Structure 1
Amino acid sequence: MDADQPEARYLAGKAALALRRLPEALDHLHRAASAMPRHAAYAVHFARALAATHRTGDALQVANIALGLAPDDPLLLHSLGTTYMQCHAHERAAAAFRQAATLAPDNPACRFSFATSLIFSGDVAQAETELEACLALAPGHWHAHATLSRLRRQTPAHNHVDRLLALAADVDEEPVASMHTHVALSKEYEDLGDFAKAFDQLVIGKSPVKVAIGYTIDRDQAIVDALIQAFPEPRPQPAGHPSAEPIFVMGMPRTGTTLVERILSSHPEVYAAGELENFGVALERLSGANSPVMLSPDVIRRAGSISWETLGEVYIASTRPATCLKPRFIDKLPHNFLYAGFIANALPNARIICLRRQPLDSCLSNFREPFSETSPLHGYSFDLLDTGRYYVLFDRLMAHWKRVLPGRILEVDYETLVATQEASTRQLLEHCGLPWNEACLHFERNQAPSTTASSVQVRAPMHRDAVRRWTKYEEQLKDLRTLLSDAGIDCDR
């Protein structure tokens, strides 16, 4: 392909981006944007490619340039909003989505994305209005239906069950749309107190996705085995990178990681950077592995030759510029528990916190969540017993890290956190080397955007509504309890 054909480069780059052939997409779009630096679409999609390859700082620079080139194009603004979201620039994303929805009020995708940004910023009432506007334009927009069901606790007088049942009949041949619809139905039935129907809807929605992705526990088992083999014994602390800025909050998803992030980021010295994949990306790139997934036994084996200091330096640099705004920052990717050994050695002054939650509640909360079917981290979540098997792996790995990294990881019990808020908050701040600040007790006043599945819940004061949720599904969880108990896990705590 000739370098003087920017349009051909652009089209080839967009196609490669859609197919997730990221190095190829980056090359084509870089060449197109360089040949015609004032072309808005070329700049927008080059920024998308940079974000997709985790070059966050570069992506933000190009996106800001693109914003100036396309101030009145709703589709390009929508794409820029998505790029800003990927780069955790949530205020800029919200502004782009708002402008796109204003310019194209009849475009359901623009209305939906604007609604999503409103949820992240805590404006539930306007988000609900935007979602209903989206559905008026596109009644079959299953993602809008599913999102709407999560905004509030449903009641007999105000729910969407009939509408969701009608939608489910229309999308049952589409596994992803069907999953989100049935999970939404499950949530609404649970709100209405019909727990048997709620659980049945989870099984109906998730089972086809498990079949479609062909998940088995074997790959995750191999990763945990390789990690334990790579870190067999306690070692003297290597030099690593000296930064004390990062606070890693990890654990099984849906176990309180967002709550801890909101508590800590209410402190004036702490910035919430979001769920960053940066550490895993840095490890994979420095390992030289050619792996289709970010973490694999091959990556783990090759990583033994990486300089710890270089790994820490590359990670810190990759989080810039956002993380240099305050003295400390939180990286809240739950599955960083897989990387705890590497993190502890590459960043010896980083603080690490792992959330633990009652095992049955942990598994149920993961099974209730409609994780992306394309995620390499959540394949277990489409089957309840697979989720139990994954929890066993998590428990085994955390026991191993506790042995080989003595004193490095503070394990926080979710139930204790919500029962003893001030004492637990003081423990968290002490572990992080932060002075006491009263604002941490009022995390619900934290105005920072929250982009996780808990974005609505974390704007309410501390409550115990999710504690012992498993008791509402005791009959349905019998086999899970047996699986966990047989693995030596105490389900009665």
Structure 2
Amino acid sequence: MREPNRAIWMPWRTPTKRHGALSERRTSSTDRAMTESIADLADRAMAHLNAGRFAEAATELEALLSQKPDLPDMWYNLGYAQRRLHRFEEALASYAQALDRGVADPQEVHLNRAVVLTGDLSRPDEAKEELGKALAIAPRYFPALLNLGGLHEDRGDREAAREAYAKALEIEPGDALVLTRLAVLSDIESADDTLVKRIEARIGAPSSTADDRADLGFALGQILDRLGDYDAAFAAYRAANQASAQVKTANSFAYNRAAESAHTDRLIAAFDTPDTPDTPGGEEKPLFICGMYRSGSTLAEQILSRHSRVTMGGELDLVPSILVKAFGRYPDDATNAARSKIADLRTAYLDDLEKRFPDSDIVTDKRPANFRHIGLIKRVFPGAKIVDTLRQPIDNCLSVYLAHLGGQAPYARDLDDIVHFYREYRRLMAHWQSLWPDNILGLDYDALVSDPEPHIRRLLDFAGLDFEEACLEPHKGEGTVRTLSAWQVRQPLYKKSSGRWRNYESHIAPLIEAFDKPN
């Protein structure tokens, strides 16, 4: 079985591509020529796929399968390429072809279909059906159990998630990610709990990888924090961050303060005027929510999603994968982009949004790091409204350090790096605010949880929405939530996260020195 991809915080794992064998039948010279042509197409397709050239891979695979459709592994690979190209319905159809043509290990294909359905098309009921089919074929198929637990977590079903993870743990007793998720979901009353001891033993095991030590270390930190042993919790978090820094992946890199500051400079220079193209504006379909990680963006989205006109989009990849990717040298090339290109990007974004959320009115695009791209967002969507979620800086930066953000936030592993990144974020946001003061709302998390209604009314008014009582109870939302805050936002609004830094005051000197303590 191919090794599945590893998720950072939510346990979705996806098998990737296959190297399927071609028929060796060779009789006439015509047959030989066709077989060689098919072999060439297959070789080129796999070369493109392995190099990440998914459009080229899809073209070669489509040509191959038009000549020889009875190649289930190639249908599998075509589905994989189409998913990477955001051609989600086509990917589902290609995976179905692989199943219909007798693909080996069909449970893997059902898993891939489940990932497309839940991760890309927001159809969790159908995803659950696919995982059920995978487990009907292979009841001990570990990735399906793991992902089923993740799906139940996304939907707020704690008991069902625990049950799926417990079954997974029977198959892989030492799996770090399963132990991590059970630690989050379990009511642990003592550091002597059996699960705590298993986690500690797994961290210290000679076979533990840096990935394992990071996953488990953050879980152990959470447990000790809940138990009120803050010194031990911080020690666990520190070790977890050190392990996370040792994880090497294709996309991992060390945080570079000079490079981050230079990038901020380039963004400010590239987008130095509020002028936007003369394209349709007004009330835009996407409503953008951004800011620092752990600053309340998930709560803001939950509040908005309770409104009858709003669909929760979650952490969409559309800005980086469609808007930013369109420019070879970003942000420089975006400055003088032709009006026609901007219009094409707008259409591409909205078309993709429609695929994922058909017939929706307003869709939230809640990707925290989009704060970097507000200049480009405003060029493509001149009427865009942007919610910038804010939190007391010491609490915010500490929460980043205590979260397992992995390679997507390399600054998160070091308190001084977090301070630097936070200051660059605020410097850039001050620039965007100076250009579009009426289109960017700073939503203060601490003020919101302290006195919800006036801030919720202000948020709805900013978004051009009439007040609805349901927005006062964001914890009652039934949508899927796929972030680190998934369980927090399913609770009634509370204030206990404000002032959390005091529990760790003796360990966070860089944060205390950088920011004023609140009264």
Normalising by structure 2, what TM-score?
A: 0.84
| 1:208-227 mapped onto 2 (5 Å cutoff) | 208-211=243-246, 212=248, 213-227=253-267
Q: Counterparts of 1:93 and 1:413 in 2: how far apart (Å)?
A: 36
Per-residue CA deviations over 1:420-445 (Å, capped at 9, x if unaligned) read 22211111111111112111122222
Alpha carbons 1:183, 1:205 under 8 Å: kept? yes
Corresponding residue for 1:492? Answer: 518
Q: 1:26 to 1:218 in 2, by over 3 A?
A: farther
Corresponding residue for 2:175? Answer: 141
> In the alignment, which of 276, 281, 285 is matched to residue 245 of structure 1?
285
Return 363-372 or 471-480, whichever deviates more.
363-372
Q: Counterparts of 2:171 and 2:43 in 1: how far apart (Å)?
A: 29
Corresponding residue for 1:343? Answer: 377
Q: Counterparts of 2:491 and 2:202 in 1: how far apart (Å)?
A: 31
Q: 1:401 to 1:111 in 2, by over 3 A?
A: same
2:76 matches 1:50: no
Per-residue CA deviations over 1:392-431 (Å, capped at 9, x if unaligned) read 1111111111112221101100011111222111111111
Q: Counterparts of 2:46 and 2:504 in 1: how far apart (Å)?
A: 46
Q: Which amino acid aligns with 1:492?
A: P
Per-residue CA deviations over 1:150-189 (Å, capped at 9, x if unaligned) read 2245322856210100110126752112111111111111
Q: Counterparts of 1:439 and 1:68 in 2: how far apart (Å)?
A: 45
Per-residue CA deviations over 1:236-257 (Å, capped at 9, x if unaligned) read 4432343621111111112111
| 1:466-485 mapped onto 2 (5 Å cutoff) | 466-482=497-513, 484-485=514-515
Corresponding residue for 2:211? Answer: 176
Corresponding residue for 2:6? Answer: none
Alpha carbons 2:88, 2:116 under 8 Å: kept? no
Alpha carbons 2:122, 2:357 under 8 Å: kept? no
Q: Counterparts of 2:316 and 2:96 in 1: how far apart (Å)?
A: 21
Q: 1:316 to 1:203 in 2, by over 3 A?
A: same
Q: Counterparts of 1:425 and 1:348 in 2: how far apart (Å)?
A: 24
> In the alignment, which of 470, 489, 497 is matched to residue 458 of structure 1?
489
Q: Counterparts of 1:469 and 1:11 in 2: how far apart (Å)?
A: 56
2:403 matches 1:403: no
Rg (Cα) greater in structure? 2
> In the alignment, which of 474, 481, 484 is matched to residue 443 of structure 1?
474
2:310 matches 1:270: yes
Report the 3-state secondary structure (helix = DSSP H, G, I; strand = E; otherwise coil) of the residue aligned with 2:189: coil
Corresponding residue for 1:433? Answer: 464
Q: Counterparts of 1:427 and 1:395 in 2: how far apart (Å)?
A: 22
Corresponding residue for 1:255? Answer: 295
Alpha carbons 2:271, 2:335 under 8 Å: kept? no
Q: Counterparts of 1:450 and 1:9 in 2: how far apart (Å)?
A: 41
Alpha carbons 1:241, 1:348 under 8 Å: kept? yes
Q: Counterparts of 1:253 and 1:7 in 2: how far apart (Å)?
A: 47
How far is 1:26 from its partner? 3.7
Corresponding residue for 2:109? Answer: 76
Could you tell me which runs of 5 or more consecutive residues in structure 1 were left unpaired when the two chains were aligned: 290-297
Q: Which amino acid aligns with 1:473?
A: Y
How far is 1:118 from its partner? 0.9
Per-residue CA deviations over 1:44-82 (Å, capped at 9, x if unaligned) read 432222222334454455456667777992121112222
Alpha carbons 1:270, 1:330 under 8 Å: kept? yes
Q: Counterparts of 2:291 and 2:429 in 1: how far apart (Å)?
A: 9
2:402 matches 1:368: yes
Q: 1:278 to 1:33 in 2, by over 3 A?
A: farther
How far is 1:342 from its partner? 1.3
| 1:95-174 mapped onto 2 (5 Å cutoff) | 95-152=129-186, 154-156=188-190, 160-170=195-205, 174=209
Q: 1:142 to 1:173 in 2, by over 3 A?
A: closer
How far is 1:260 from its partner? 1.1
How far is 1:210 from its partner? 2.4
Report the 3-state secondary structure (helix = DSSP H, G, I; strand = E; otherwise coil) of the residue aligned with 2:507: coil
Alpha carbons 1:210, 1:383 under 8 Å: kept? no
Q: 1:76 to 1:230 in 2, by over 3 A?
A: same
Alpha carbons 1:119, 1:127 under 8 Å: kept? yes
Alpha carbons 2:290, 2:367 under 8 Å: kept? yes
Question: RMSD across aligned C-alpha pairs, in angstroms?
Answer: 2.8
Per-residue CA deviations over 1:269-290 (Å, capped at 9, x if unaligned) read 1111221111222223432x1x
Q: Which amino acid aligns with 1:344?
A: K
Could you tell me which runs of 5 or more consecutive residues in structure 2 were left unpaired when the two chains were aligned: 1-21, 23-32
